[in-house]
Amino acid sequence: MLSMLISDVVEVQVHYKEEVRNMGADDKMENAGEKLGGKAKEAAGKLTDNERLEAEGKGDQTKADLKGAGEKLKDAFKKD
């Protein structure tokens, strides 16, 4: 009975760690996409001489960079 309970607890812990890792990877992918989109907006703004679009692209990149820094900070405090 006790061994079954321990087995269940270990299984839940492993599943939880996998979920946390997957969420982190998803967030990192989303940030990379946001940064790429920002670069595209910035380039389009430069090509069309649209300062607003260029600034929006730079803002999107900065936002993605800040999110990425937050992810790195979370990773630094994670225990494996």
pLDDT digits (tens, 9 = 90+) for 38-49: 999 999 999 999
Q: Which domain holds residue 63?
A: 37-80
The verdict on residue 75 lying in a domain is: yes
Check whether 16 has a pLDDT greater than 50.
no
Reported as a pLDDT band with limits 50, 70 and 90, residue 24 is: confident
Residue 57: which residues within 8 A CB-CB, separation 6 or more?
Answer: 37, 38, 39, 40, 41, 42, 43, 44, 45
pTM beyond 0.75:
no
The verdict on residue 11 lying in a domain is: no
The verdict on residue 65 lying in a domain is: yes
Q: What is the mean pLDDT of residues 22-28?
A: 74
The verdict on residue 47 lying in a domain is: yes
The verdict on residue 18 lying in a domain is: no
Reported as a pLDDT band with limits 50, 70 and 90, residue 63 is: very high
Domain count, the chain: 1
